Amino acid sequence: MSSKCTKCNQRSVIFQKYSGMRLCRKHFIEDVERKIKLTIRKEANIAKNDTIAVALSGGKDSSVLLYVLHKTLKERPDIRIVAITVDEGIEGYRSHTVQSAAILAQNMGIEHIVVSFEQEFGKSLDELISGERVQGACTYCGVLRKSLLNRIARNIGATKLATGHNLDDEAQTIFLNHIRGDVERLVRLAPTRELDGLILRSKPLRKIPEKEVALYAFLNDLPVDYSECPYAGEAMRGEVRDVLNDLEVNHPGTKYSILSGFDKMVQILAKEYTQTNMSGCQICGEPCNSNTCQACKILGRNIIEY
């Protein structure tokens, strides 16, 4: 079988089984950027004078996100991009990715804010989960990180919060919520309207497979940390990832099909499971749909202590 690019006569760097195309470096980069730009146009709704906060971990996904957003929008002087890095406090892991994030932001001249769990919540993630706990490390991390990113983005006047979720992430999350029968959480994956206090999120990489994100980062020589979080093995997501990867090998395009089906049905589901208005958490004041936000619940806060 030929190893030449489908679009030219150059040597290919990837074979996309789901599309049947072999692509050289140039055409692969163009293909990735075309998909990202299309997602931005259709779903991000970037407007004049927007401030876009980018959740930058220093890993491949968020680094590619920041790089492509900067490349796409750098000629727009009215658009402000700010990178926000959350240091959860994971020994032997997070310090390396924070350094990679700082190098990337500096190389592109992008404003970079670093915040930590220890500064904001009084304990690192390692400390939070060191004792008796009823939730996995990923639950603690996900809830607190999401809350912190939203608060920092709001404080800097951001109008959008971009995250580096790729196709694999999206397909896994959709599949997980189907398994759990959590339709309400499914609907919240694609918010249908802005909610008070919550910065509208966008996922420009949601149609790019994880392996292609990694290859794009490599081909563009981005300063990326490719190590895996030591807590990743605790989550059920790892089992779902393995199942979907096996399906993708045997049935190329499975992950795209899961995402496409979700996008078609989510608006219908949203009519039945309407998003409730936000109220302020009675402890910290952050927006939530009950008296107490998930971050305060997971931290064991109460009104007197706070």
Distance from C-alpha of 90 to C-alpha of 110, rounded to nearest angstrom: 25
Residue 293 assigned as binding residue: yes
Number of domains in the chain: 1
The CATH number that applies at residue 64 is 3.40.50.620
Query: Is 7 inside a domain boundary?
Result: no
Query: Is 150 inside a domain boundary?
Result: yes
Token output for 9: 């006569």
The pLDDT tens digits of the residues spanning 58-108 come to 999 999 999 999 999 999 999 999 999 999 999 988 888 999 999 999 999
Residue 229 assigned as binding residue: no
Distance from C-alpha of 183 to C-alpha of 85, rounded to nearest angstrom: 31
Query: What single-letter amino acid sits at 155?
Result: N
The pLDDT value given to residue 257: 97
Residue 213 assigned as binding residue: no
Query: Is 126 inside a domain boundary?
Result: yes
Residue 281 assigned as binding residue: yes
Residue 55 assigned as binding residue: yes
Residue 288 assigned as binding residue: no
What does the pLDDT average to over 213-231?
93
Query: Is 73 inside a domain boundary?
Result: yes
- Nearby residues of 106 by Cβ (< 8 Å), 6 or more positions away: 112
Query: Is 271 inside a domain boundary?
Result: yes
Query: Is 1 inside a domain boundary?
Result: no
Start-to-end CA span in the chain (Å): 65
- Nearby residues of 234 by Cβ (< 8 Å), 6 or more positions away: 136, 137, 138
Predicted confidence (pLDDT) at residue 303 exceeds the cutoff of 80 = no
Residue 284 assigned as binding residue: yes
CB neighbours (10 Å) of residue 202?
A: 22
The pLDDT value given to residue 92: 87
Query: Is 304 inside a domain boundary?
Result: no
Residue 20 assigned as binding residue: no
Residue of 305 and 63 predicted with greater confidence: 63
Q: Measure Cα distances from 254 to 68, 209, 247, 260, 272 in Å.
A: 26, 11, 7, 10, 27
Lowest mean pLDDT across 156-165, 234-243, 268-277: 268-277
Tell me the residue range of the domain where 80 lies: 28-275
Query: Is 19 inside a domain boundary?
Result: no
The pLDDT tens digits of the residues spanning 180-198 come to 998 888 887 876 556 778 8
Residue 138 assigned as binding residue: no
What does the pLDDT average to over 139-153?
93
